[in-house]
Structure 1
Amino acid sequence: MTIAPTTTGAGASPPSQDGGRPNERLPAHRLVARATGSYIARIQPQYLSDTSAAVAELARLRRGAGKRVHQVQDLWGVGGTEELARLLDGRKEFIRLEYAEEAVFLASTLWALHQQSGRDAGMHDPRQHLGGAVRALIRLKGASGEDEEDSPLRKRLVRVGTAESLDSVAVRLREIVLLLRGAREPLDYARLAGQLYRWQHRPDRAGVQREWGREFHLAAASASASVAVARKGKPSSGVDTGDTRDTSDTGDSGDSGDAIDRALAPDEEFGGYAAGE
């Protein structure tokens, strides 16, 4: 089956329920992100409230974490693919269907793995992107300054960026998600799904790789700025400045969600990069 490529918002879809914006104004990867976000937004509150159906569904989804959509037949029609089909109804010629299905499936199953046994908070959080989440995790482990650049966690992110196949990306993301789960550090899975869709299209891959790198580095810059502001506004005691730095860097003060440059907000078509870059 031949699927016409989508690099801009040319594809048209029926009006969405998200703010009343018609889908024809959205590029393909945004529809993928929306399908993933809509699915998780529906299931996550049910899981947090211990609804039996949601608990069972996440248990099924976790079996697919790090795998390809065709490898887990038991999950066909589960994990956001129904939302994707609804958004693309009658407009499938404007999107690479296999890429879309793989991206939604991988992001949904990784979220289920991340959310496992956690009822205190949802692990899908639009405020935290992949690079920023890894940076936050490094700091939670106690690294600072030059130690962050040599961290094994940073090397794991680099391995995701340098992967040459979707199978490799899936396995390496699974490794990172398991570490994020242990630290209860959330991640924006809708944005990740959109990035995974673009990553599969070779001309867009460099742009996604740059986004992951920028997310990581801009998280450091934003966190440093937050520390400077906190120090400027706090009376000097001559004792607690070191503790103030550590609290801000680890995100315990609630600043971790803001440690992302808004130039990378998910409502930008290509996260600051041109299509095909």
Structure 2
Amino acid sequence: MTTTTTSGADASPPPPPDGEPMTERLPAPQLVARATGTYIARLERQYLADVPSAVGELARLRRGAGKRAHRIPDLWGIGGTEELAELRGGHEGFLRAEYAEEAVVLATSLWALHQQSSREHGMYNRSQNLGGAVRALIRLKGAASADEEDSPLRKRLVRVGTAESLDSVAVRLREIVLLLRGAKVPLDYARLAGQLYRWQHRPDRAGVQREWGREFHLAAVSGAKKAKAGADGGNGDAIDGTLRPDEDFGGYAAGE
């Protein structure tokens, strides 16, 4: 039997022997989420305070929004890569550094695009995952509950989930982020970075795709509970809070 191999960042690992499930998991996704969150939180505070160096760094980051890591020399050394390098120290099991760098740089540059011209509020919010943000945007556009599942915005999210290359994911996420920016809907970029890291690894990709779909549908349940609570005069229980990234995986368990 002849086996064809591929190379490059998006190459899939070789298939397992017949009958053996592909169970390899990426190590330390929490470090990717933590590096991203640490970098964005620091830069966001400075940007909102109108610190000139932060304003300039954000402008540089925006030029890389939706593009692959290291393709723009002007971005070398920023975008969370130094925070990532510091966190990697002592973690010998961190085997996919290139995946981590791609995820951190993509997430931070998209945040910079999202944050552009917004000086009142930060657009990095750990309580708003990707699926929930798209659901919130649909509702802000005035869609009736019965129409939410057929919304063009939902179809944009589906296109992210069905993308076959990181380049396609980046471009499709950029389209969504521009819409979120216009509506001032925030997003958890630390969680997104952890998901993008795992997405690049074939055995983890289906789990990430399920997360994005689950986030979207759980946000519908949360919205319905809030509406019911409003009608009843109560506060209700927000489901979105249970989707915040934990300190171990930056999202759902890595084995999802």
Q: Is the shorter-chain TM-score for this pair beyond 0.5, marking a shared fold?
A: yes
Give the match's secondary structure for 1:94.
coil
Cα deviations across residues 106-140 of structure 1 (Å, max 9, x unaligned)? 00000000000000100000010000000000000
- Aligned partner of 2:100 in structure 1 is 100
Report if the CA contact (8 A) 1:32-1:104 is conserved.
Answer: yes
Give the match's secondary structure for 1:260.
helix
Partners of 2:159 and 2:213 lie apart in 1 by: 12
Structure 1 length-normalised TM:
0.79
Cα deviations across residues 36-91 of structure 1 (Å, max 9, x unaligned)? 00001111011011110000000000000000013111111101000000000243
Partners of 1:97 and 1:68 lie apart in 2 by: 14
- Aligned partner of 1:188 in structure 2 is 188
- Aligned partner of 2:68 in structure 1 is 68
CA deviation after TM superposition for structure 1 residue 7, in Å: 2.9
Work out whether 1:269 is the aligned partner of 2:221: no
Letter in 1 for 2:102: E
Partners of 2:227 and 2:100 lie apart in 1 by: 39
Structure 2 residue runs without a partner (length 5+):
1-22
CA deviation after TM superposition for structure 1 residue 269, in Å: 3.0
How many equivalent residue pairs? 233
Partners of 1:94 and 1:110 lie apart in 2 by: 24
Partners of 1:232 and 1:161 lie apart in 2 by: 37
Structure 1 residue runs without a partner (length 5+):
9-26, 235-252
Report if the CA contact (8 A) 1:148-1:154 is conserved.
Answer: yes
Cα deviations across residues 219-251 of structure 1 (Å, max 9, x unaligned)? 0101101111121127xxxxxxxxxxxxxxxxx
Among 9, 25, 32, the residue aligned to 1:7: 25
Letter in 2 for 1:106: L
Structure 1 residues 236-247: aligned runs within 5 Å: none
Partners of 1:184 and 1:259 lie apart in 2 by: 21
Letter in 1 for 2:101: E
- Aligned partner of 1:171 in structure 2 is 171
Partners of 1:33 and 1:258 lie apart in 2 by: 23
Partners of 1:100 and 1:273 lie apart in 2 by: 17
- Aligned partner of 1:260 in structure 2 is 240
Change (3 A) 1:32 1:118: same
State the identity %.
70
- Aligned-residue Cα RMSD (Å) equals 2.1
Report if the CA contact (8 A) 2:24-2:203 is conserved.
Answer: no
CA deviation after TM superposition for structure 1 residue 261, in Å: 5.5
